[in-house]
Amino acid sequence: MPGASARHRVVVVGGGFGGLQVVRKLRRAPVDVTLIDRRNFHLFQPLVYQVATGALSPGEIASPLRGIFKRNRNVRVLLGDVTGFDLEARHVFVDLPDGERGRVVPYDSLVVAAGSQYSYFGHDEWRELAPDVKSLENALEVRRRLLTAFEAAECEPDEDTRAAWLTFLVVGAGPTGVELAGQIGEIARDTLRRDFRMIDTRAARIFIVETADRVLPQFPPRLSGSAERALAQLGVTSLTSHTVVDIDAQSVALADVAGKHERIPARTVIWAAGVVASPLAAQLGNVDRAGRVSVGPDLTIAGHPEVIALGDIVRVHDSDGNAVPLPGLAPVAMQQGRYAARAIRARLQGRTPPSFRYRDKGNLATIGRAKAVADVMGLQLSGLVAWITWLFVHLFYLIGLQNRLLVFIRWTFSFVTRGRGARLITGSSE
Amino acid sequence: MPGASARHRVVVVGGGFGGLQVVRKLRRAPVDVTLIDRRNFHLFQPLVYQVATGALSPGEIASPLRGIFKRNRNVRVLLGDVTGFDLEARHVFVDLPDGERGRVVPYDSLVVAAGSQYSYFGHDEWRELAPDVKSLENALEVRRRLLTAFEAAECEPDEDTRAAWLTFLVVGAGPTGVELAGQIGEIARDTLRRDFRMIDTRAARIFIVETADRVLPQFPPRLSGSAERALAQLGVTSLTSHTVVDIDAQSVALADVAGKHERIPARTVIWAAGVVASPLAAQLGNVDRAGRVSVGPDLTIAGHPEVIALGDIVRVHDSDGNAVPLPGLAPVAMQQGRYAARAIRARLQGRTPPSFRYRDKGNLATIGRAKAVADVMGLQLSGLVAWITWLFVHLFYLIGLQNRLLVFIRWTFSFVTRGRGARLITGSSE
């Protein structure tokens, strides 16, 4: 095989926001980089929910990894499923697309940026009943369910059943849950308003359930208030201080803080709560309740200065051993990715890298048309200014001019026509 | 239920090119129209193969049917699967998305435009091994197989297996097969050229198999020659006068006219041969070998002046009872759709509609970058002029300004960068 060399070998696991930055910042370094991902594309995670609502198409928020690095001859992309590590022998084990299991990929430096997934709090049977919007496949399944619910209501003669088809429930009121619930509100009130003849889509009921006592608990309370009012304007009822206790194909049971139970008939339930780290984190050391492995101030795992972990799979500790709370956001992973590349270059030159330090860029969430909240640079913004900020930040961080243009066109048409062009029902119900 | 009326009820089955024109031309007529389709969108069939090659995203060539007719209060869209007709009672039977089977939809006039599908010549077991590119779901499955083949080759140590992963075979050299084979050639030669480190994608072998003695047998022989040369330039070998006799997961067996058999190791096989009418045609009367029902010069079926059938499911006969050969193209279905609407309006006014007459708009096929053939208005064109004609005709017939813009941007980027932005591997191999 060509390309065998004595150069320092860096293996990066995961082509998300963190992993991508590591590779980008190493592409001119005297190292050989292997980027391993299960998917052949980088996915712009913060907009996946817009695929679920038909506002965007999958291809518009995904960029093929090989295309990003095709001009960097020291970067190799390997499509495969990392199944584990041998930290002593410095090996990664990968299942490959031709069916081979456990291919050994050796490294000198390892960066693990495997990301997170949704936890169903021990209720894995809910996964099927209430899909999340993490992967493109799931987003398309949610899109199918959302749109089919309106279709089923249109031809349903029984009033109660029709009402259940027109009831939508989102679990979790972080940014993804809030944005999703807001978009369902817009679909019912604007996009589909004139599409049906038998039903009034504006009669749809939309609930967002949150265990905390306010929506967007990551934001300052004043912005949570703005967000809740914006949601209400779109017909979304916020059920804060409520917990999901049961889900079946027809309904969801909730408990409030007093322990009182209530069952809401709803045929469409979407999950956006309880983030846990990728199971790969547990292969790097002891993990906390959220499945995250501890790393030091230089993001390395205990006893292995050649192994860096970052992003949603880690809990960072400072030099005194205290945990540094960091949000599970793209900017954190991206800054850690750039730091990881710098740290590897420093170590190659015999230098000790300084500690990782997070620069808080703030927090953004959009609720709907000209409705958003932003907590940036000490400013708490809501409404149109926050919304425009949200739009430009997201367009800016999308990979590639083509995707930026395509998304910009989709958003412009949605804004002008209140439509959602990609509202296709695809895939099968089986 | 609202909307019940004594107005003439028109039921249109199928929202393809034909059905869409019927409804469009009836939206200002004093009739109630119900458009029934299994899918909630109109699909621009001639570009589906570009989804399979990652050049376009599904949402860019599909338009939600409800959105198209949302302002036409006399048009109702019903998402459902038509299972049969009672021609005497004037009923259509429909399975609905809420699970109801056999809902009765009554009509005064019926238009059936149910389209076609690929026949596997009695070998339904090949359907899984060699998917077609008719539906969006199939196109995404073909995209997954195409791109995974290169990924598998990249990590495959065995030379013969690697060569089989890098061998692609398209069955059928009509426009879809030729355009698909040409695009696979471009993917291997241009798009992916710098994406891999272990394999040279330009070594990929691409075959197109055709029973006739030339590619594009619908075109004048001179243009078939141009197309075959253009294919050869893209590395595509045309195996004309060859028939597929067996397909398994690793290879395809072919027979030539002399009956000599040959087996080609190929891991990716795509089907684009043998069009047959929708099974619904057989519910309207006797069908021919291609599954098409006979209709008279006014497109009605025998004994039922209130039932029109059109598009790929019919064989038209003139007033002397002779079959009129018409190609299975979008313009035929569209002209027949407009005719059907005029005929229904005429009959409502007590007039007898004149016979349907097809105005031949010509025939177009693209092979690749600046390579196409066109047989229009007595002119036989090939090369750049034909290609530009092809581009503009397809952009013009796409539904909606948004999709036209999105597709235009995709094509512009593909032309400039030789890339294909939507080359994602999605879905599962299970």
- What are the pLDDT digits (tens) for A187-207? 999 999 999 999 999 999 999
Choose between A402 and B5: higher pLDDT.
Answer: A402
Interface of A with B in 409-428 (CB under 8 A): 409-410, 413, 419, 421-428
What is the SS3 assignment for A158?
Answer: coil
- What are the pLDDT digits (tens) for B107-155? 999 999 999 999 999 999 999 999 999 999 999 999 999 999 999 999 9
Predicted pLDDT at A91: 98
Cα separation, B146 vs A347, whole angstroms: 41
- Candidates A353, A373, A290; CA nearest to A327 is A290
- What are the pLDDT digits (tens) for B311-322? 999 999 999 999
Predicted pLDDT at B323: 95
* Residues of B with active-site annotation: 179
What is the SS3 assignment for B222?
Answer: helix
Contacts of A1 in chain B (CB under 8 A): 198
Maximum CA extent, chain B? 74
Whether pLDDT at B181 is above 70? yes
Cα separation, A234 vs B201, whole angstroms: 51
Contacts of A54 in chain B (CB under 8 A): 59
B17-26 and B330-348 are packed helices; what angle lies between their axes, rounded to 10 degrees?
30
Q: Which of B58, B419, B424 comes nearest A62 by C-beta?
A: B424
Mean pLDDT over residues B297-320, rounded?
97
Q: Which of B57, B154, B427 comes nearest A59 by C-beta?
A: B57
Ordered domains of chain A (ranges, CATH)? 8-38+80-118+276-348 (3.50.50.60), 126-273 (3.50.50.100)
Predicted pLDDT at A410: 94
Give the mean pLDDT of chain B. Answer: 95
To the nearest whole Å, the CA of A296 is away from the closest chain B CA by: 35
Whether pLDDT at A400 is above 70? yes
Mean pLDDT over residues A51-66, rounded?
95
Distances (CA, A) of A337 to A340, A342, B84: 5, 9, 59
Cα separation, B211 vs B171, whole angstroms: 9
Whether pLDDT at A331 is above 50? yes
Q: Does B154 lie at the interface with A, CB-CB under 8 angstroms?
A: yes
Contacts of B155 in chain A (CB under 8 A): 78-80, 96-98, 100, 103
| Interface contact B58-A58, CB threshold 8 A | yes
Predicted pLDDT at A132: 96
| Interface contact B147-A40, CB threshold 8 A | yes
Predicted pLDDT at B3: 46
Q: Which of A100, A192, A413 comes nearest B155 by C-beta?
A: A100
Share of chain B above pLDDT 70, in %: 98
- What are the pLDDT digits (tens) for B83-107? 999 999 999 999 999 899 999 999 9
Give the mean pLDDT of chain A. Answer: 95
DSSP B42-99: EE-GGGHHHHHTTSS-GGGGEEEHHHHTTT-TTEEEEE-EEEEEETTTTEEEEE-TTS
Mean pLDDT over residues B249-257, rounded?
96
Q: Element (H or E) spanning A79, and its range?
A: strand A75-79
* pLDDT bracket for residue A60 (50, 70, 90): very high
| Interface contact A423-B155, CB threshold 8 A | no
* pLDDT bracket for residue A5 (50, 70, 90): low
Interface of A with B in 168-197 (CB under 8 A): 192, 194-197
To the nearest whole Å, the CA of A197 is away from the closest chain B CA by: 7
- What are the pLDDT digits (tens) for B25-62? 999 999 999 999 999 999 999 999 999 999 999 999 99
* pLDDT bracket for residue A361 (50, 70, 90): confident
Answer for the pair A177, A273: CB distance below 8 angstroms, yes or no: yes
Whether pLDDT at A17 is above 60? yes
- What are the pLDDT digits (tens) for B58-86? 999 999 999 999 999 999 999 999 999 99
- What are the pLDDT digits (tens) for A211-229? 999 999 999 999 999 999 9
* pLDDT bracket for residue B2 (50, 70, 90): very low
Least confident of A45-49, A148-152, A426-430, B332-336: A426-430
Q: From the candidates A60, A179, A210, A228, which is the catalytic residue?
A: A179
ipTM here: 0.92
- Candidates B37, B26, B92; CA nearest to B63 is B37
Whether pLDDT at A314 is above 50? yes
Q: Does B81 lie at the interface with A, CB-CB under 8 angstroms?
A: no
- What are the pLDDT digits (tens) for B201-230? 999 999 999 999 999 999 999 999 999 999
Mean pLDDT over residues A397-410, rounded?
94
| Interface contact A79-B194, CB threshold 8 A | no
Structure tokens at A420: 């959602």
Predicted pLDDT at B1: 41
Whether pLDDT at B5 is above 60? no
Q: Does B1 lie at the interface with A, CB-CB under 8 angstroms?
A: yes
> What is the model's pTM?
0.94
